[in-house]
Amino acid sequence: MKKLDTYLSLCSEVYDLSKPTPPENEYAFYRGYVENAKGPVLEPMCGTGRFLLPLIEEGFDVQGFDASEHMLNTLDSKVKAKKLNPTVWKGFVEELKRPEKYNLIFIPAGSFCLIIEPDAIKLALKTFYDHLSNDGVLLFEGETIKSVPQLGVWRGSIWNKSDGNKIILSTLASYKNNVCNTLCKYELADNNSILHTEIEEIKVRIYAPNELIEILKSCGFKHIRLIKAFDSDAMPDENDESIVYECRK
């Protein structure tokens, strides 16, 4: 059985501390597509629900799933606090098997690029294709070479928890074969003591636009539009760290 070895407890806490709400421009961008969908919407890799839950609160019909139990636990805490009852489940993208056909499938924040193996990428895209309605849209961000951080340099940040403890995050990035590999060391600290340590390797596939277009076409998508993040009226340029791909059958 497939098991996720990233986005563990401390990573999920830092994710929610650093990204409690979606950036306004990103939320407005995706919200526009959700509103135009006029039907069921799916957010794979929904994480702690920072896009999903505000959309549900607005009354949109959005479902979501994620492979990280820790991220979903955080989402569940928010759901209970907000007294919501969303359709959310645990699962990997390539295991998606739902009876619904969705008018929109969207993956914000570059999460799609966490799928790095070529076979898994094609399987994921084909799975999305099969779950779209005939007029449905697949919308996601692809990371470019401009998103790769400075290599071989340790970086650090400190995040304060509500209980007074801190999470110290140290990261080191490397790059090989179009994959950016970031070693992440999370340390839960109480005053001068380290209570718990978690080490993860976050791998992100970096795409050239033409490469991803060819993969999308091989999975059945015929109408692919590249959009500057997050401006529906603009084309991306060579300095963009990410590109939004709008894909239709």
- For 115-170, the DSSP string reads --SHHHHHHHHHHHHHHEEEEEEEEEEEE-GGGPPPTT--EEEEEE-TTS-EEEEE
How is the chain split into domains, by residue range?
9-144+206-248, 147-204
Q: E strand or H helix at 105, and its extent? A: strand 102-107
Average pLDDT over residues 218-244: 96
pTM of the entire predicted model: 0.95
**Do 121 and 115 meet the contact criterion of CB atoms below 8 Å apart?**
yes
Residue 92 has pLDDT above 70, yes or no: yes
Predicted confidence (pLDDT) at residue 3 exceeds the cutoff of 80: no
User: 41: pLDDT confidence band, cut at 50, 70 and 90?
Assistant: very high
CA distances from 68 to 7, 92, 110, 188, 193 (A): 6, 9, 16, 20, 28
CATH number 2.20.130 is the correct assignment for the domain at 147-204: yes
Q: Which of these CATH numbers, 3.30.565.10, 3.40.50.150, 1.20.272.10, 3.40.1080.10, describes 9-144+206-248?
A: 3.40.50.150
> 35: helix, coil or strand?
helix
Q: What is the model's pLDDT at position 33?
A: 98
- The two most distant CA atoms of the chain are separated, in Å, by 58
Q: What per-residue confidence (pLDDT) applies to 1?
A: 61
**Mean per-residue pLDDT for 43-54?**
97
Phi, psi values for residue 57, rounded to 5° = -60, -30
